Amino acid sequence: MTCNPLRTLLCLVWLVIFFAASLILLPVAALIGHFSPEKKDAFCYPIVKSALKVLWHLAGVKPQITGMQNIPENQAVLYVGNHRSFFDIIILASILPGRISVVAKKEMEHIPLLSTWMRNIHCLFLDRSNVRAGAQMVLDGIALMKNGISVLIFPEGTRNKGGGMLEFKGGAFKLATKPGLPVVPVVQTGTREMFEDLKPFGVKGAKTTVTILPAIETAGMPRAAQNQLHTQVHDSMEKVFNSLQK
């Protein structure tokens, strides 16, 4: 598969424009946050979501979105997604409602400007080689959710290059079960064809779907059910994923 040179150029130009503008926007965000963290969130989230939407529009993507009515209102939730592409994050972080923290790999914490925006929207950085740091990340995520900020995780742990879905890591689900908040599974298809499968480097438009499954309530859930929650969510998502791939 080959990329679309024009769309690739448009995306690169947009990234240059956005990060150049960040040299002004980030100091403004820091100044606002000095006086009011809530107003800083109100400033940063619309900017980030709008920038991400422009990026996938320029890439030629028109995702077919179903199930938005399944998202509980007026409370934080744990969004659980399958992971095949960087565009999984770009699309979901821009279309899901409210304030959202994304769990990202530790390496992204060192990317200039991007990491600052990620911290401004409360992203959690996971060091998969450090068990203690992983446990602290869960505690930090629970604190965010208790403060009304939803969390988006990809519990396969890495981008899946094959068919179906990889096994889920069960520890991430403590973000929902500990505070007793809902889990909302989200299945995406077609995102890998936009970027990772292309030769040479670049982007192209692709048919993508976002399917939001019914929320799973965890308040009062028995311990045995909590221990099997990651398997239950995985199997329900994989069934939908496989049906959409046909």
Give the number of C-alpha atoms closer than 13 A to the C-alpha of residue 51, restricted to the C-beta side. 22
pTM: 0.93
User: Minimal CA–CA distance to 77: which of 90, 58, 96, 62?
Assistant: 96
Q: Which amino acid belongs to residue 61?
A: V
pLDDT per position in the chain (246 positions), as tens?
A: 678 888 999 999 999 999 999 999 999 999 999 999 999 999 999 999 999 999 999 998 888 999 999 999 999 999 999 988 888 999 999 999 999 999 988 889 889 999 999 999 999 998 877 888 888 899 999 999 999 999 999 998 776 666 778 888 888 899 999 999 999 999 999 888 877 666 667 787 888 999 999 999 999 999 999 999 999 999 999 999 988 876
CB 181 within 8 A of CB 218: yes
Q: Is 125 left (phi over 0), alpha (psi -120 to 50) or beta?
A: beta
Q: Rounded to the nearest 5°, which phi and psi values hold at 227?
A: -65, -25
**What secondary structure letter does DSSP report for 194?**
G
